[in-house]
């Protein structure tokens, strides 16, 4: 695909998908959603970690209401079903770890696309905003699913009803994201963390993602059985043998990866 609204870079096993409509605060259009989905799926096939970030001052300001003649003409149900859902599935079901490097404000669907990633780093000056009720809508793009799971019911309900800004520091304190990072250190930090994952045991990471996500639907006994099955697979891998050998030899492990 010839990308027009994003950029895609693959270096040393790290695929970086950059939302690239800085003049529009990376607001989402139909084309942009399709390009992000394609890039994430491509990264899942050829990289060992996928990073989503934004160009300019914002991560993503949400739906570009000017993408149609007017906000009232948008078929929201179709848009969510046919455009947002495939994108979110691509992020959640990506076979390698996904990172959202939130470099600035993340609002509306932009916030929830970030929160769909496995790990979220946010610069200290960033914020998250469930802006939907400001225009008479409910949180979408997976927001009603991820928010109560990451923030708890009370915080999720308040965030959705009041549509107040949640600073990156608050998001970190509330368990909404993995880490809030000072602005001056942000890019170097997320790149270092992405490199760490790119050098890690890819198959084990895939199993971690699957087992943790499945835990929401499983009973305790079901989860114990799932852990046993997945651990059995990992225990037969070359990465496990290499990890143990490296530990015994007191050296960094060299995992096989893809």
d(C-alpha 250, C-alpha 244), whole Å: 10
Q: How far is CA 137 from the centre of its chain?
A: 23
Q: What is the mean pLDDT of residues 232-238?
A: 92
> For 6-198, which CATH class?
alpha beta
Write the CA distances from 199 to 10, 12, 48, 83, integer angstroms.
14, 9, 8, 32
Say whether pLDDT at 100 is over 90.
yes
Query: In this predicted structure, what is the pLDDT of residue 66?
Result: 81
Of 99, 132, 123, the C-alpha closest to 113 is 99
Sheet containing strand 6-11, edge to edge, reads 6-11, 14-19, 49-54, 98-102, 119-123, 179-181
To which H or E segment does residue 16 belong?
strand 14-19
∠ CA(29), CA(33), CA(38), 5° rounding?
150
pLDDT digit string, tens, across residues 120-155: 999 999 999 999 999 999 999 999 999 999 999 999
Say whether pLDDT at 258 is over 90.
no
* Residues shown for the chain: 258
CATH number attached to the domain at 202-248: 1.10.12.10
Q: Where are the domains of the chain?
A: 6-198, 202-248
d(C-alpha 159, C-alpha 133), whole Å: 10
Query: In this predicted structure, what is the pLDDT of residue 69?
Result: 35
């Amino acid at each position: 695909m010839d990308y027009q609204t994003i950029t895609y870079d693959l270096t040393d096993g790290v695929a970086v998908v950059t939302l690239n409509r800085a003049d529009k605060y990376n607001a989402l259009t139909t084309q942009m959603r399709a390009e992000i989905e394609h890039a994430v799926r491509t990264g899942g096939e050829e990289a060992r970690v996928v990073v989503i970030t934004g160009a300019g001052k914002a991560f993503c300001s949400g739906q570009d209401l000017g993408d149609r003649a007017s906000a009232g003409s948008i078929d929201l149900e179709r848009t969510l079903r046919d455009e947002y859902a495939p994108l979110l599935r691509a992020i959640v079901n990506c076979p390698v770890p996904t990172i959202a490097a939130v470099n600035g404000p993340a609002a509306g669907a932009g916030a929830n696309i970030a929160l769909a990633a496995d790990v979220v780093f946010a610069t200290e000056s960033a914020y998250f905003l469930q802006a939907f009720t400001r225009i008479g809508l409910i949180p979408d793009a997976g927001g009603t699913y991820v928010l109560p799971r990451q923030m708890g019911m009370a915080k999720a309900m308040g965030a959705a009803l009041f549509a107040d800004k949640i600073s990156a520091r608050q998001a970190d304190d509330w368990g909404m994201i993995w880490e809030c990072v000072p602005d001056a250190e942000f890019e170097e930090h997320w790149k270092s963390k992405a490199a760490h994952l790119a050098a890690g045991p890819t198959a084990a990471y895939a199993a971690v993602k699957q087992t943790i996500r499945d835990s929401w639907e499983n009973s305790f006994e079901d989860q114990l059985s799932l852990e046993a099955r997945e651990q059995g697979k990992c225990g037969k891998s070359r990465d496990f043998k290499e990890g143990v050998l490296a530990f015994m030899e007191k050296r960094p492990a060299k995992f096989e990866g893809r």
